Structure 1
Amino acid sequence: MSGLIIKNAIVRAGERTILADASFSAPASAVTGLIGPNGAGKSTLIAAVMGRRRLSGGTIAFDGIDLPGTRAAERARLCAHVEQFATTTERLSVRDVVALGRVPFQSDWQAVPSPHDDVVVTDAIEALGMSAFGDRLYHRLSGGEQQRVQIARALAQEPQLLLLDEPTSHLDIKAQLLVLEVLRQRALAGCTIVVAMHDLNLAARYCDHLVMLNNGRTAAEGTPADVLAPDLLLRVYGVQSTIVNVPGRDYPIVIYDSAVNSD
């Protein structure tokens, strides 16, 4: 499998160019981290992959399938997406929300979930540590709890390609580690994962591949050790940093020294 391949992607909003000739690949059965400062184009890129932002140029393909040219129903059986914020005032239980991940695979005349649907939903809820929340109303959960439910919903979709936009932003440290461990296991099981992240140290630890975006362009791509370099962090983020390699750990650690005033 070839994974996700993006070539010369351009996305415009009116006269403004948000993505400008962005190109990179997300290897199959691996976790690829999208990193970069606010406004770099991470969320726009994920939306373009999901067909929610129209390309003005370039191509997006997954395992040879042209995603922008794929019908929404077909894309939903292939890809799952976790947004930064997803809420509702509907009186849906946690299990109801997670079960929405099975909708793309259900026929119009299917009145109740299949036994397989029930197993997949239960497994996804358990994987995110939400078993005790199954009957609780989703809209009454905290932001972090809702985020974990949305990730469980995406896992229940059994996607071949899973895209997550800052999935750990509302989570405490324990929940962050749980979620990222779950994503690593899904990648090892064959899922191609693309996750937008702000925490560079979590990205270094859990991602096999990093793509650094800046001003809508690809600034760097490679392993965490390749991408997390002081010169790149200074140019893209405007911070002085030191990269530390700890014996026994196969990923770099970023120590932030100071912010650089660009004025």
Structure 2
Amino acid sequence: MLSVEEITVGFGEAGVLDGVSLSVDAEEFVGLVGPNGAGKTTLLRAINGVLDPGAGTIHVEGRARDACSTRQWSQRVATVPQDTSVSFAFRVEDIVEMGRTPHRSRSQFGTSESDRRRIVDALDRTDTARFRERSIDELSGGERQRVFVARALAQDTPLLLLDEPTASLDVNHQVEILELVRDLVGEGRGALAAIHDLDLAARFCDRLALLSDGRIRAVGPPEDVLDPGVLDEAFATSTTVTTNPATGTPTVTARTDRGDSDRRVHVLGGGRLGARAIATLDAAGHTVSAGVFREGDVATETASTLGASAVTSPPTGEVGPDAIAAAHDLASGADVVVLADVTIGSRQWALDVAESVPSVVLLEEQPLEDRVLAGERARDRYQTLRERSRIAEIESLPLAVAEAQNQLQRPADD
């Protein structure tokens, strides 16, 4: 669908792209990722015809860009810009109709039936038909983004280019936009999108191309490109890559400098929340241990990926005494113990571990009645533990851990 071969772009003495090569197949969604200033927008502008490369070639469906007129190239490539501001308060339908411009002859007057069908289909496919009579200035950021996707869809091109389509959108609108692009790609188009959020890129893209310092540093499936060794050099930072327990795709966290910190944290409670707790604490620079976790649990996999000490037990059956003893040993050497939606069974060993340490932080997402399975006595023990513990959200977990340790170390008042 798209073939970019050894293109070079510079502005005056400053080189921006240096021998970049990239391809996108039909029914493929490729994410262009990299640090700010890497040249992602410049590459998209070279592909869509706004910039002329100093060297190299660009082909779409085998046709060279320099062999096409602007109108012919616009019949092959449609762009969804990052900036959706316009200089006039056009109606939504007028914005979408602009996508038909490359297909109209100079002698055409008015909107043809073929144009009308394309416009209506684009409005319907992007769920923007309900806005058709409204001014573009009246819409929210996510709604405006959909309108510009509709314009690109009405343009009816085999290739879609998107420049940071999720920038400044909230989470639900980010997912909606990328799901829409995925659907369009599934119909035979190719798409290349500059995406700053590495987790979203990994979730929705078939392949990623990592651009850094004007060159492609890695291309391939998300799990290959989002490798700490590759990312650390490109972004000039230290990263942790784990598996998102909800999507099964890579998730990237920038890690802080551990410095001289020797804080140790033990995590009890597996599953999605336990995995997030381990990754969050590791990214914050803490030395993490964990368990007892079931073999195959996503928290077990996360601990293994990050090199954290973890106690495991078979996937089924009771947790053995040796595993419980090992968890006691790790917890006793920790500064803080974190309970992440811990399930309390008949043996109540997790409560035994937590009660044996002076500093506890609780992460609670599931209702208590769904997790305490050992009767009123276990519930009372948990409530007593809760009264002396810090309650935290996953986002504030590192701060809660630091505060819990500081409270423990603070001298008592006279």
Fold in common (TM above 0.5)? yes
Cα distance in structure 1, aligned partners of 2:243 and 2:57: 37
Aligned partner of 2:80 in structure 1 is 82
User: 1:26, 1:209 within 8 Å by CA — same for their partners in 2?
Assistant: no
User: 1:49, 1:68 within 8 Å by CA — same for their partners in 2?
Assistant: no
Aligned partner of 1:50 in structure 2 is 48
Cα distance in structure 2, aligned partners of 1:256 and 1:248: 20
Cα distance in structure 1, aligned partners of 2:143 and 2:247: 30
Aligned partner of 1:153 in structure 2 is 151
Amino acid in the other structure paired with 1:73: R
Unaligned runs of 5+ in 1: none
Matched residue count: 259
Aligned partner of 1:117 in structure 2 is 115
Cα distance in structure 2, aligned partners of 1:186 and 1:92: 25
* CA-CA distance at 1:105 after TM superposition: 1.3
| 2:67 alignment partner, SS class | coil
1:113-160: CA deviations, max 9, x gaps? 223322322222233222221111113333433222111101111110
1:180 to 160, 178, 181: 178
Cα distance in structure 1, aligned partners of 2:210 and 2:257: 19
1:2-53: CA deviations, max 9, x gaps? x212111100101110101111222222000000011101000000011111
1:72 is aligned to 2:88? no
1:106 to 97, 100, 104: 104
Aligned partner of 2:229 in structure 1 is 231
My pick for the range that moved more, 94-103 or 24-33, is 24-33
Cα distance in structure 2, aligned partners of 1:107 and 1:246: 50
Q: Which is bigger in relative contact order (C-alpha 8 A, separation at least 6)?
A: 1
User: 2:60, 2:76 within 8 Å by CA — same for their partners in 1?
Assistant: no
Amino acid in the other structure paired with 1:4: L
1:151-185: CA deviations, max 9, x gaps? 11011111101101001113222221111111111
With structure 2 as the length reference, what TM-score do the two structures score? 0.59
Amino acid in the other structure paired with 1:14: G
Displacement over 3 Å in runs of 4+: 246-250
Identity %: 38
Aligned partner of 1:93 in structure 2 is 91
1:209 to 204, 207, 210: 207
Amino acid in the other structure paired with 2:151: R
User: 2:25, 2:190 within 8 Å by CA — same for their partners in 1?
Assistant: yes
Aligned partner of 2:39 in structure 1 is 41
Amino acid in the other structure paired with 1:238: A
| 1:68 alignment partner, SS class | helix
User: 1:19, 1:216 within 8 Å by CA — same for their partners in 2?
Assistant: yes
Amino acid in the other structure paired with 2:34: G
Amino acid in the other structure paired with 1:88: V
Cα distance in structure 1, aligned partners of 2:257 and 2:71: 46
* CA-CA distance at 1:68 after TM superposition: 3.3
1:255 is aligned to 2:249? no
Amino acid in the other structure paired with 2:7: A
* CA-CA distance at 1:248 after TM superposition: 7.9
Larger Rg: 2
Cα distance in structure 1, aligned partners of 2:121 and 2:242: 38
Cα distance in structure 2, aligned partners of 1:245 and 1:235: 21
* CA-CA distance at 1:249 after TM superposition: 4.4
User: 1:89, 1:139 within 8 Å by CA — same for their partners in 2?
Assistant: no
1:196 is aligned to 2:221? no
Amino acid in the other structure paired with 1:123: D
Aligned partner of 2:219 in structure 1 is 221
Note closer, same or farther for the CA distance 1:238–1:258 as it changes in structure 2 (3 Å cut): farther
Cα distance in structure 1, aligned partners of 2:87 and 2:11: 30
Cα distance in structure 1, aligned partners of 2:112 and 2:163: 30
* CA-CA distance at 1:250 after TM superposition: 5.0
Aligned partner of 1:60 in structure 2 is 58
User: 1:239, 1:259 within 8 Å by CA — same for their partners in 2?
Assistant: no
With structure 1 as the length reference, what TM-score do the two structures score? 0.92
* CA-CA distance at 1:112 after TM superposition: 2.4
1:127 to 105, 125, 128: 125
Cα distance in structure 2, aligned partners of 1:46 and 1:246: 29
| 1:190 alignment partner, SS class | coil
| 1:8 alignment partner, SS class | strand
Between structures 1 and 2, the one with greater helix share: 2
Amino acid in the other structure paired with 1:96: D
Note closer, same or farther for the CA distance 1:156–1:255 as it changes in structure 2 (3 Å cut): same
Note closer, same or farther for the CA distance 1:250–1:159 as it changes in structure 2 (3 Å cut): farther
Amino acid in the other structure paired with 2:163: D
My pick for the range that moved more, 116-125 or 138-147, is 138-147
